[in-house]
Amino acid sequence: MKITAFEVRPDEKPYFEEFRRKGIDIRECPGRLTMEAIPELEPGSAVSILGQSICDENLFKALAEQKIFFLSTRTIGFNHLDLNAARKYGIHTANASYAPDGVADYTIMMILLCLRGYKQALWRMQVNDFSLDGLMGRELRDLTVGVIGTGRIGSQVIRDLSGFGSHILAYDPHPRPDAIAAEYVSLDRLYAESDIITLHTALTEENYHMINSDTISRMKDGVVLINCARGGLMDMKALIEGIESCRIGALGLDTVEDEEGIVHQDRKTDIFSDRDLAYLKQFKNVVYTQHMAFYTEQAVRSMVSCGIMSLLNMEAHRKDPHQLS
């Protein structure tokens, strides 16, 4: 089977080469999978993508017409795939998996950066300002942390946090009380009692903008919000209002909504037109990074491996544990 991998980054290339040395026919493309690219694909081949390729009904229909029925995304998240359309046109899809440690580590780092005023301290050091005014932090052991989503990453965050002595609350529609050292509570109670709230859930129609003006109003004054999951979980305008009103004490964001076309690209010489993001990230208590919580050597290797192996498993009609449709 011929495989075309789209959105291939330079750091992925060595791992694709490992598969080529094993005889797997893989073609690499740096660009996204688009309607224009589909006619050039060999009928009966397979494709692998990353998160910037938006696969809607029209794209899945075009793939089916080109006799391409296997697609993998080298990401854990799959909100860029219209799975109903994939099923409609008989296209099998699969997502990736990697160890939760990298994102969990990054989440803890984000929490600590927010609690210790990292951004202000860094700015001051650039101009030789060694003062302490306004930099007093808080200690995790005295705080209550709310974890929304207790899948593999959320559970690892809870295990990591347990070493700090924090009181940990958790919410998940499918709780696993015997598996983690946290107190499962309702979402309303988590909002009301948490000093820090961190999100670790997939983006769905049901939880889109779950962090909004209403839910922020139910949180503690000065709450710290962390998002290393999916940008669409948080309403950008509500975040701005929360920071301006001081309802939100700090934000640690590795992802924001509508980040397509921005993240993982060099835009420093462009006219940056996302006014909300430009405004939000300039606040002294907002730490924003370029959707890189996942980005470790181990995770990238695993993402490429899952992306290729799931396609090979599909072709061999073997059941793949990460198959979505």
Q: Report CA torsion sign: 202, 208, 213, 218.
A: negative
d(CA 109, CA 293): 10
d(CA 202, CA 314): 24
* Beta strands across the sheet bearing 196-199: 183-184, 167-171, 144-148, 196-199, 223-227, 248-253, 286-288
Nearest alpha-carbon partner for 199 in 215, 183, 210 = 210
Helix (H, G, I), strand (E, B) or coil at 191: helix
DSSP type of residue 318 = P
Element (H, E) at 217: helix 213-217
Active site residues: 230, 259, 291
44's tokens: 């009966």
d(CA 223, CA 227): 13
d(CA 111, CA 25): 43
Cβ neighbors of 79 (< 8 A, separation 6 or more) are 202, 203, 204, 230, 232
How far CA 145 is from CA of 2, 12, 62, in Å, comes to: 47, 35, 46
Q: 45, 66 in Cβ contact below 8 A?
A: no
d(CA 323, CA 141): 40
The DSSP code sequence of 80-138 is TB-HHHHHHTT-EEE-----THHHHHHHHHHHHHHHTTHHHHHHHHHTT----TT----
